[in-house]
A and B are shown apart, each in its own frame.
Chain A
Amino acid sequence: MKALLYREFVWFKRYFPDYLGMWAIQLGFSIGVVFMPAYISGSQAYVLSRLKTLYGVEFTAGGLIAFTLTLSSLIGVVALIVGDVFSTLYYEFRIAETNLTVMEASTLADFLFYNALGRSSLLCFFATLYLLALLPLIKGLEGLFLYLAVLALLLPASIVLGLLSSILALATITLTPVRRPWAIANLIPPILLASVGLYIPVELVPFLLRLVAYITPLPFVVEALQALLLFVGQPIILGYLTTLLVVYTLYLTVPIVLLRRAERWVRS
């Protein structure tokens, strides 16, 4: 873990301008793609009334902005983590071959676990950092708490996503002749995001696509995020938290067991 933190720190220092660009794109994306079309489609009063019909909750203008900004952060988190894990592991296994250095010094399963834990958490933090500035600006102190709650929801989901992406990337790199794994990495986020209930309710998603979505905890996260944003302070949130606790335990255990097996594949 220490080694990975050190590597991340060095990379962060070296690639700081890239990270700045990432934040700027994320912010532009959040405002432009999710929020703007709603306003373009009609007056503010019209948009708010339509959303009330859709979600059954009265929105304020500030609440609507916070809602769209927060949901779009999930898009950034998924796209960033899947893409980054695939490209970093491909670089480590096929180009720099630093996996051999890791396997010589330590166990690959531990490295991949801590990599998913550390790197995914960092990426989740970076991808949602704009919320730290914008949510308190829109909703004051409540916005700050909302940001912390969103982060608490997304962090474990990011770690699970990092672990699952590591396993998929490792299988792709070691068990298939694929030479352009980023092509696969680019396909996964849209498929996942289309099926987890972010754009349309998960019940309306075709069965096979829903199965893909439930490989990850994202459908539960989307539901919990919506509940958090729409029913702040209501007891319903506690129910979601309990479900998520069970879901995260299950979704963390399976990839960790699979990673132990991955060590055996790679060394044989």
Chain B
Amino acid sequence: MADIVVEEVRKTYVVRSGFRRTTYVEALKEVSLRVAKGSIHALLGPNGAGKTTLVKIISTLVKPDSGRVLVGGFDAVEEADKVRALIGLVLDVSKGMYGSLTGFQNLVFYGLLKGYSYSDARRRAREVLELVGLDEESAYKKPYYSYSLGMRARVGLAKALFTDPDVLLLDEPTLGLDVSSSMVIRGMLVDFARRGRTILVTGHNMREIEEISSEVTIINRGLVIAQGGIYELKRKLGLANVLSIKLEGAGSREFISRLKEGLLQIIKVEANENSVASSYRVYARNSREEIVDAVTKLIKRTSARVVDFSIAEPSLEDAYLAVVGDTLRR
């Protein structure tokens, strides 16, 4: 069952660049996606693709011009209050908080806005701050404007988790964070998904996204250009696995030419040959198992000695570039 359903959503913004000049920007042309309950779904795309607009529409902050958005079965336009009760949102980790209030005070303010009693808001603020691991001195004594980006991201996540929501909408939650902070936040997200929360996350760091997400939607210029499971997406795009192999002996060239002659579907070969040992990078459209099988067969049949070999699978970044890079060039 899908927890978030987006059907043919369109949105055009009116941008005023002067008192009388207005321009229209089509942020979303026709976007549809489904996010399964308990999964982490990544929304990818270049800057200005429409990711943040879509997150704002799902979170009821902005109304779509047409189309339908359901969150937990509730319509984001008609039943906005019910949707708001279900979601936790991080939009921009450095925005949305009062600079002169501490992290704790900002969270209490948010809790009171959400209808918590004063004592419940304070108790819950303490709980979520502990959950995201913000140190006590910063959380309770220092004003928010003095926080580092990592600390702000933690407060943002604490705010998103304040109501213990079923659905988390996170727009670039690790943007600008150091390695350890973003690792901690990634770990938290995986943990939340394991506990049955549905997470829609946007970002530009493909390694991070690949590590935590099971499904992706890639949008560009307001249109969905690819969608599905990460593995299926790579397969569908026919991206090559890369065999890196180091050979010794006279049969090195023969080894590679026999690989080319029907054993593997090779796209290209990069060679670095010398008299002692030769290194090759072979780009093949075969599965990992087929490549291992072909190399094992040739070891027995040729005089070349395999010194080292490894197989690198295509990354989400390769898939993303294959899809978006193509549209960017158009």
A binds B: yes
Determine whether the beta carbon of A100 is less than 8 Å from that of B95.
Answer: yes
In Å, the complex CA distance between A11 and B113 comes to: 17
Interface residues in B, total, Cβ within 8 A: 31
- Determine the main DSSP class of A at the interface with B: helix
Distance from B161 Cβ to chain A, minimum over Cβ atoms (Å): 13
Determine whether the beta carbon of A267 is less than 8 Å from that of B84.
Answer: no
Is residue B92 contacting chain A, with contact meaning CB distance below 8 A?
Answer: yes
A-B Cβ contacts below 8 A, count: 71
Which residues 6-62 in B have Cβ within 8 Å of A in the complex? 16-19, 59-62
Interface residue tally on A, bucketed by range:
20 to 34
Distance from B67 Cβ to chain A, minimum over Cβ atoms (Å): 14
Determine whether the beta carbon of B19 is less than 8 Å from that of A101.
Answer: no
Contact A3 B18, CB 8 Å, known A96-B95, A105-B84, A267-B61 = no
Determine whether the beta carbon of B100 is less than 8 Å from that of A14.
Answer: yes
Is residue A177 contacting chain B, with contact meaning CB distance below 8 A?
Answer: yes
Residue of B nearest to A97 (CB): B95
Distance from B22 Cβ to chain A, minimum over Cβ atoms (Å): 10
Write the A7-32 contact mask toward B (1 if CB under 8 angstroms, else 0): 10011001100000000000000000
In Å, the complex CA distance between A254 and B297 comes to: 85
Is residue B224 contacting chain A, with contact meaning CB distance below 8 A?
Answer: no
Q: Which residues of B have CB within 8 Å of A105?
A: 84, 110, 113-114
Contact A10 B105, CB 8 Å, known A98-B97, A100-B96, A177-B19 = yes
Determine whether the beta carbon of B92 is less than 8 Å from that of A177.
Answer: no
Apart from A101-B113, A104-B61, A105-B114, what are 15 other A-B pairs with CB-CB below 8 Å?
Answer: A2-B118, A3-B109, A3-B112, A6-B105, A7-B98, A7-B101, A10-B101, A11-B100, A98-B97, A98-B98, A100-B91, A103-B60, A106-B113, A111-B113, A176-B16
16 of the cross-chain contacts (CB-CB < 8 Å) are A3-B109, A6-B108, A10-B105, A11-B100, A97-B92, A100-B96, A102-B113, A103-B60, A104-B84, A104-B89, A106-B114, A111-B113, A176-B16, A177-B19, A267-B60, A268-B62
